Amino acid sequence: MPPRFPIEVSPSSHPTPTDERSRVLASALGFGQIFTDHMVLIPFREREGWLPGALQPYAPIQIDPAAAVLHYGQSVFEGFKAFRQVTGDIACFRPDANAKRFQHSARRLAMPEMPIDMFLQAAEILIQQDRDWVPSTRGTSLYLRPLLIATECSLGVRPSREYQFILIASPAGDYFRGGIKPVSVWVCDNYVRAAPGGTGEAKFGGNYAASLIAQAEATQRGCAQVVWLDAVHRDQIEEMGGMNIFFVLESNGQTTLVTPKLSGSLLPGITRESLLLIGPKLGYAVEERTITLAEWISSAQAGQMTEAFACGTAAVITPIGSMHGQHGETLIGDGQGGPVAQALRDYLLAIQYGEAQDLLGWMHRVC
Ligand code: PLP
Ligand code: COI
């Protein structure tokens, strides 16, 4: 198919040699450490709109010290994955949903909205070029990281008139070092991540910068992730540092997946939304509602909450074994994870690798 938007393709004259790439792909990939041979750049100028893009060798970019992003932080990003299908083809999971959220985040930060087709085309061109970087073992994928930054050289505090879109790709394995072993989490009560009317539901770099001090405190306490409470009541569970959260409640033989409702200050995760849709197919009821820290503690102690898990593109589905906070430690179930998170994870991965029927049309075949 001819390109819908002009993206000039200039492949690297010295791509990673095949044996080196195979060695890297066979190693423990972890998350966000290794990058493929190419990247896509698409500039935007207020007067001209989106300018012709370029696929070029992965390399450092030059940025003027007066570029707005370096001073006032206009920067939004996305994250989605391409999977090697059982057939050998490559397909992305719901990239159109990421493209829409990228637009939403850009709008909130007074940045230009990239057309959905342009976003998808950039991804297709990069994946096609670097297709040999898509790993094939279960649990691995190619993580795509689109980024939009303000590049106008101006120190006036106003929306930049120039931007750069950047797309890079990274072969990825497990986000957490222990793989899918249950993690412990730290409930943060001294900082807030996002407030009503703020930027919490945008995938905005500043949200992550503001979360790092709490994430560091969680790490000091031996926890893998921070859990955020709402900014107003300071007792409602919102989400985690880089993922959404689900609870599994058992009552009268019915299993219910509960996740905090979208409050405007938590990220509307695409994995979260997908699990709300596939949960009922596995026989689970689903609820989006307020859940307080007090309810989390009491229902876990009463044995009604049998599991809790983190979900997101990077984290996939990772069980939460225990929750820590000023109140002490609360074990969830026996602390070892459980069958519901496992069943959801198996089903989601089966769709993503093309083993299960893609009933909801989520997979976007690239090549
Ligand atoms: N919440 C935050 C703060 C995140 O960074 C992410 C990751 O993207 C998520 C939730 C999960 O979103 P998704 O499932 O779209 O990856
Ligand atoms: C993702 O899952 O794509 C994310 O962006 C989360 C990452 C920041 C840990």
CA distances from 245 to 76, 262, 269, 341 (A): 22, 12, 10, 11
- Which pLDDT band, with edges at 50, 70 and 90, does 179 fall under? confident
Which residue minimizes the CA distance to atom 9 of ligand 2? 242
Helix orientation angle between 95-108 and 270-278, rounded to the nearest 10 degrees: 130
| pLDDT above 90 coverage of the chain, percent | 95
Which residue minimizes the CA distance to atom 3 of ligand 2? 79
Predicted confidence (pLDDT) per residue in 153-167, tens digit = 999 999 999 999 999
CA distances from 145 to 64, 213, 288, 293, 314 (A): 22, 23, 28, 33, 11
Query: Which position has the token pair 């939403």?
Result: 104
- Residue 20's pLDDT is 95
Task: Tell me if 7-172 shares its fold with 183-352.
Answer: no
Query: Average pLDDT for residues 125-138, to the nearest whole number?
Result: 96
- Which pLDDT band, with edges at 50, 70 and 90, does 252 fall under? very high
pLDDT at 3 over 70: no
| Ligand 1 site residues, Cβ closer than 6 angstroms | 79, 239, 242-244, 267, 269-272, 312-313
Q: Please enumerate in sequence order all residues whose Cβ is within 8 A of that of 276, keeping only pairs 6 or more positions apart, or say none.
A: 257, 259, 286, 288
CA distances from 216 to 8, 137, 328 (A): 42, 32, 18
DSSP of 201-243: TS-BHHHHHHHHHHHHHHHHTT-SEEEEEPTTTS-BEEEESSS
- Residue 209 half-sphere exposure, CB side, CA atoms within 13 Å? 9
Of the candidate ranges 64-73, 126-135, 176-185, 258-267, the one whose mean pLDDT is the lowest:
176-185
Mean pLDDT across the chain: 95
Cα-to-centroid distance, 41 and ligand 2 (Å): 21
Atom of ligand 1 nearest to the CA of 211: 3
Residue 40: burial class (beta carbons within 10 Å; 0-12, 13-18, 19+): buried
H/E element, 294: helix 293-301
pLDDT at 255 over 70: yes
Cα-to-centroid distance, 313 and ligand 2 (Å): 6
Each domain of the chain, given as residue ranges in start order, spans 7-172, 183-352
Predicted confidence (pLDDT) per residue in 287-336, tens digit = 999 999 999 999 999 999 999 999 999 999 999 999 999 989 999 999 99
H/E element, 330: strand 328-331
8 A C-beta contact, residue 174 and residue 30: yes
DSSP state for residue 333 in the 8-state scheme: T
pTM: 0.96
Atom of ligand 1 nearest to the CA of 271: 14
DSSP state for residue 173 in the 8-state scheme: -
CATH architecture under which domain 7-172 falls: 2-Layer Sandwich (3.30)
CATH architecture under which domain 183-352 falls: Alpha-Beta Barrel (3.20)
- Residue 137's pLDDT is 92
- Residue 176's pLDDT is 85
Predicted confidence (pLDDT) per residue in 193-235, tens digit = 999 999 999 999 999 999 999 999 999 999 999 999 999 999 9
CA distances from 244 to 35, 275, 319 (A): 26, 11, 12
Query: Average pLDDT for residues 88-110, to the nearest whole number?
Result: 98
pLDDT at 14 over 90: yes
- Residue 180's pLDDT is 78
pLDDT at 110 over 60: yes
Atom of ligand 2 nearest to the CA of 313: 2
Q: Please enumerate in sequence order all residues whose Cβ is within 8 A of that of 298, keeping only pairs 6 or more positions apart, or say none.
A: none
First-to-final CA distance of the chain: 12
pLDDT at 4 over 90: no
| pLDDT above 70 coverage of the chain, percent | 99
Helix%, strand%, coil% for the chain, nearest 5: 25, 30, 45
DSSP state for residue 353 in the 8-state scheme: T
Query: Average pLDDT for residues 118-134, to the nearest whole number?
Result: 97
| Ligand 2 site residues, Cβ closer than 6 angstroms | 79, 242, 312-314
Q: Residue type at 69?
A: V
- Which pLDDT band, with edges at 50, 70 and 90, does 1 fall under? low
- Residue 311 half-sphere exposure, CB side, CA atoms within 13 Å? 25
pLDDT at 150 over 80: yes
Strand pairing class (225-229; 183-187): parallel
Which residue minimizes the CA distance to atom 12 of ligand 1? 269
